């Protein structure tokens, strides 16, 4: 490259060898071998599994779409769960993210809100779904509540971090005009984070579409319940039809996300 003499740049080797690093790699390798042995993971078991997978695929194809009414019912319910939970989750995350931002709020406000957001992010959606199914019963309500919690745990955290990175010069300029808190948020903070917030929201919609088909496995509505029942009945050609429908749903979510990003670009 012009202007840079060979050897002029002192580059440190990122993979320097020393005794501590080598000991760490040896310990990691030993732990991996120990873990494989204790869990019974072996090549023989894997090769036998491939044989079972081959027979499973033979029974799955061709897919059986004859029960289209049941299939579409589950698909519509999954879609409704995903959209309702995403809209409510985004709305709540907007406020929680603002109150969790440490550059806008005092510590006694931001710390508890951040703890609440961290709590929402602690458990996998399936565990949260089990808790809601036990609380409000089987059905879509448990799925909606589960995905609202998941949305808050993800979007509110990222939104708070995006607000903490805004330029305070613009905030101070709006404050200097005597504007109140709401005006400061609307005219100085939101213009700086709106595009990122839309990106987070579309990603969460995509994630909720996937999760809405999963929480049904534990009774929280959607296609997951239909899928679980089909597996229990060894109805593998119908399982294939459900899986293809889920793939179509995820592709639709990807298309929808791209449209939203293009509109707000």
Q: In this predicted model, what pLDDT tens digit does every residue of 68-106 receive, in sequence order?
A: 888 888 888 888 998 999 999 999 998 898 899 888 888
Q: Is the pTM above the cut of 0.85? A: no
Cα-flanking dihedrals φ and ψ of residue 46, to 5°? -65, -45
Residues 198-206, mean pLDDT to the nearest whole number: 84
Dist. CA 162–CA 198, nearest whole Å: 12
Query: pLDDT tens for residues 209-220?
Result: 888 888 888 888
Q: What does each C-alpha distance from 136 to 90, 121, 153 come to in angstroms?
A: 22, 21, 21
Dist. CA 26–CA 133, nearest whole Å: 46
Candidates 163, 152, 161, 131; CA nearest to 208 is 152
Candidates 211, 226, 216, 234; CA nearest to 67 is 226
Percent of residues, the chain, with pLDDT higher than 90: 15
CA angle 237/238/244 to nearest 5° reads 95
In this structure, what token pair is assigned to residue 122? Answer: 């602690």
């Amino acid at each position: 490259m012009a202007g840079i003499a060979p050897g002029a740049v002192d580059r440190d080797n990122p993979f320097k060898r020393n005794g501590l690093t080598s000991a760490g790699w040896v310990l990691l390798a030993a732990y991996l071998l120990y873990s494989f042995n204790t869990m019974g993971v072996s090549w023989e078991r894997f090769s036998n599994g491939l044989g079972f997978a081959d027979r499973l695929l033979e029974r799955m194809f061709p897919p059986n779409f004859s029960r289209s009414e049941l299939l579409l019912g589950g698909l519509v319910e999954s879609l409704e769960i995903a959209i309702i939970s995403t809209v409510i989750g985004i709305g709540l995350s907007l406020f929680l993210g603002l109150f969790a931002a440490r550059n806008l709020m005092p510590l006694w406000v931001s710390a508890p809100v951040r703890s609440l957001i961290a709590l929402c992010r602690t458990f996998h959606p399936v565990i949260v779904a089990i808790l809601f199914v036990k609380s409000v019963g089987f059905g879509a309500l448990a799925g909606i509540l589960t995905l609202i919690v998941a949305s808050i745990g993800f979007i509110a955290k990222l939104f708070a971090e995006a607000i903490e990175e805004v330029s305070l010069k613009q905030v101070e300029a709006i404050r200097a005009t005597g504007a109140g808190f709401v005006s400061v948020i609307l005219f100085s903070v939101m213009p700086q984070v709106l595009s990122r917030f839309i990106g987070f929201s579309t990603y969460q919609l995509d994630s909720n579409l996937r999760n809405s088909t999963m929480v049904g496995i534990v009774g929280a509505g959607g296609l997951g319940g239909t899928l679980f029942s089909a597996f229990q009945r060894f109805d593998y050609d119908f399982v294939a039809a459900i899986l293809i429908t889920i793939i179509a749903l995820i592709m639709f979510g990807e298309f929808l996300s791209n449209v939203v990003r293009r509109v707000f670009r």
